[in-house]
Structure 1
Amino acid sequence: MQRRILGLAAVVITVVGAAGCGSSDPAESGSSPSGGSKTTQVKVGIIPIVDVAPLYLGEKKGFFSSRGLDLEMVSAQGGAAIIPGVVSDQFQFGFSNTTSLMIAQVKGVPIKSVVNGAASNGKAGADVTGVAVKKDSPIKSAKDLAGRKVAVNLLQNIGDTTVRESVRQAGGDPSEVKFVEIPFDQMPAAVADGRVDAAWMGEPAMTIAKSQGARVVAWPFVETDPKLTLATYFTSTKLAQQNPELVKKFSEAMTESLQYASEHPDEARQVLTSYTKISGDVLEKLTLPGWPAEVDMASLEKLASLGEQDGIFGDKKPDLDALFS
């Protein structure tokens, strides 16, 4: 896993370089606004999915600029690819699923979660992710995924960990599931043309797949824990120690953004058009995650326990208090 993390660092650095590199010193500021106080340039590594809508909505509503923060969002395929960028100062903050953060911590990567990102909405049959199969697939439940090829966006992560739990709860053998790595946006086609037997999809991939006739046979997040904290925003321990004021401002602005998005779901849905290609019927039908302001530690303890059971942490255990509190 260490080799994987280091290898992904090169990919992230290339992406950031293409977007234009800023100062490696997160404390340096840009031009001064009319009030005279300086504006701090902040790069945030994100996955362009529904879950990060509050970040974009908060930027639009001025929650960050009112605190002197000028955001630039840079996209990556998954949290495991964003982590190296944060540690190498290419990003000041990043968005990652919680399993990726746990894996990084046990590998000695110096990171710290600073504010919540997204959670399961807790609705069985209507959560933000599900395992989809073709309409005429013989797969009827999570138990039938054993021995099948199932797509996830990243291996050894929150997707395959929670899918295994769904299979386990349904009475199947989770060790027999054959996981393959495919980007979310390619999953509907991969299911439709039979390249995989099933795919663990986030939005909008799941809504697109369902519009093409796919069936959802499992809801891994809800089946793992209805209050599951899926992802958080994080920084490097170096930045947290050297610039706590910047971390505080970002966390406060993000908390305000989460609360606003939760209270104004229509606005959160509409802001998706600013950073994705989602529109029309898909925009109206897609499922939104939960955006609570606080992480749910009990759900993270369950997720960590499953990760240990599946052996994704090696011989160490993640220190959840150090990482998330």
Structure 2
Amino acid sequence: MPKSPVSATPASVTRRRVLKATGAAVVTLAAPAIVRAQGATKVRIGFWPVASGLPFYAAIEKGYFKEAGLDVEPLKFASAQQVIEAILSGRCDGSASGTASAALALGEIAQPGLLKIFCTNPTNAKYVLEEFIVAKDSPIKTVADLKGKRVACGPGVQNVTLAKTMLERAGAGKMSVTELPIGQHVAALASGQIDGVYTLEPTGTVGRLKGLTRTIEAGVVARYILGDPMAPWHGGSASLTSEFLSKNKDAATRYMTAYRRGVTLVKQSPQEARPYLKGYTAIEGDLTAEVPMSDYVFYDEFKASDAAYFQKFYDLFSEKGIFSRKVDVNSMIYKG
């Protein structure tokens, strides 16, 4: 299981300007003795502790990577920005599902050709990941009601940009938002420190089952950013660096095959997979059965409509000036 964070230093001034890196937690999983003897390939994967990373967690705990002859080292970070900074500095070979796709694009801008996305975790009103939540007894009923209130979001440029844009488009007007680690969202609402928060699962489930918070609207990016509550928001992505793909072609193929087994488990047997949220996210025990699931799309399942909605999402960041140039989604998708 992941351990507590340790400090990390950005590799360059340029990277510090693009991404804020403050720490990482590292856990090494030993490969079976027979594989170690043959020299198992190590794969260092950064992840953010959100529910959509479940295929990765399950693949580790079910031993899918070990069976593929891989020594996968999961690196836990406090934000998606820290994941991409670690990739940029050569401390990670890729990202797990749930890593903010906009952060990956920032890495691509900083270092063109840096990585390839091989699996996304699209969400919407049906496959819920993101939501606005408030304290259980709050009088706030809609996103528009947050106008003039104290609103927070998870750390990182993707969360901040989306939260501000959605608040404005929902009728709350132009507002500032406070970045808070996702693990503090429920406590901040319960204590009255903030009035509302744009957050990611399992936060909403944790707060609801503890009787502290309630969701005022879920699947908000699909509605307010993509214009359709059922549109797929490819907000998180699993990736491998181009360097790893080039130098370790066979291992990369085996990694993606094992990862697909994790995705298949989550999609076909979610009740078997859900317990693996424990230790990787803030949700524990029986509460794992309550967390809503993301959908997952592998690179060879990507349709033209997926690419179009993904591009619309990226174009928002170009329009807002977050991306210094237009990022072509298709150029970032692994082609096999």
User: How does the TM-score come out when normalised to structure 2?
Assistant: 0.80
Residue number in structure 2 paired with 1:222: 222
Percent of aligned pairs with the same residue? 22
Residue number in structure 1 paired with 2:176: 178
The answer to whether 1:3 aligns with 2:8 is: no
Contact map agreement 1:259 1:292 (CA 8 A) in 2: no
Gaps of 5+ in 1: 23-28
Pairing of 1:142-181 with structure 2 (within 5 A): 142-157=143-158, 159-173=159-173, 176-181=174-179
Q: Equivalents in 2 of 1:258, 1:206: separation in Å? A: 23
Question: Quick check: 232-241 or 184-193, which moved more?
Answer: 232-241
SS at match of 1:154: coil
The answer to whether 1:285 aligns with 2:294 is: no
The verdict on how the C-alpha distance between 1:156 and 1:146 changes in structure 2, with shifts beyond 3 A counting, is farther
Pairing of 1:62-141 with structure 2 (within 5 A): 62-95=63-96, 96-108=99-111, 110-120=113-123, 122-123=125-126, 127-141=128-142
Q: What is the deviation of 1:128?
A: 2.0
Gaps of 5+ in 2: 1-13
Q: What is the deviation of 1:84?
A: 1.8
Q: Equivalents in 1 of 2:35, 2:169: separation in Å? A: 58
Deviations along 1:67-101, one digit per CA (max 9) or x if unpaired, are: 21121212101211011212322222223211111
Q: Equivalents in 2 of 1:46, 1:258: separation in Å? A: 16
Deviations along 1:29-61, one digit per CA (max 9) or x if unpaired, are: 988626974311222111122111111212333
Deviations along 1:161-202, one digit per CA (max 9) or x if unpaired, are: 3334433443343xx221111111110011122222211122
SS at match of 2:49: coil
- Among 244, 267, 288, which residue is 2:249 paired with? 244
Deviations along 1:187-239, one digit per CA (max 9) or x if unpaired, are: 00111222222111222211122233423223323323431112112233322
What code does the residue aligned with 1:324 have?
I
What code does the residue aligned with 1:320 have?
V
Residue number in structure 1 paired with 2:316: 306
Pairing of 1:257-296 with structure 2 (within 5 A): 257-276=262-281, 278-294=283-299, 296=306
What code does the residue aligned with 1:265 have?
P
Q: Equivalents in 2 of 1:35, 1:177: separation in Å? A: 54
Contact map agreement 1:119 1:227 (CA 8 A) in 2: yes
The answer to whether 1:202 aligns with 2:200 is: yes
Contact map agreement 1:127 1:289 (CA 8 A) in 2: yes
Residue number in structure 2 paired with 1:26: none
Residue number in structure 2 paired with 1:317: 326
Residue number in structure 1 paired with 2:10: none
Q: Equivalents in 1 of 2:232, 2:19: separation in Å? A: 32
Contact map agreement 1:261 1:291 (CA 8 A) in 2: no
Alpha-carbon RMSD across the aligned residues, in angstroms, is 2.9
SS at match of 2:311: helix
The verdict on how the C-alpha distance between 1:302 and 1:168 changes in structure 2, with shifts beyond 3 A counting, is farther
Q: Equivalents in 1 of 2:82, 2:329: separation in Å? A: 21
Q: Equivalents in 2 of 1:103, 1:69: separation in Å? A: 28
Q: Equivalents in 2 of 1:6, 1:292: separation in Å? A: 27
The verdict on how the C-alpha distance between 1:33 and 1:121 changes in structure 2, with shifts beyond 3 A counting, is farther
Q: Equivalents in 2 of 1:179, 1:35: separation in Å? A: 48
Q: Equivalents in 2 of 1:60, 1:31: separation in Å? A: 14
Q: Equivalents in 2 of 1:309, 1:122: separation in Å? A: 25
Q: Equivalents in 1 of 2:156, 2:45: separation in Å? A: 23
User: How does the TM-score come out when normalised to structure 1?
Assistant: 0.82
SS at match of 1:298: helix
Residue number in structure 1 paired with 2:5: none
Q: Equivalents in 2 of 1:205, 1:104: separation in Å? A: 27
Q: What is the deviation of 1:63?
A: 2.6
Q: Equivalents in 1 of 2:328, 2:235: separation in Å? A: 17
Residue number in structure 2 paired with 1:25: none
Q: Equivalents in 2 of 1:155, 1:82: separation in Å? A: 11
| Alignment size in residue pairs | 307
The verdict on how the C-alpha distance between 1:161 and 1:218 changes in structure 2, with shifts beyond 3 A counting, is farther
What code does the residue aligned with 1:282 have?
L
Q: What is the deviation of 1:309?
A: 2.9
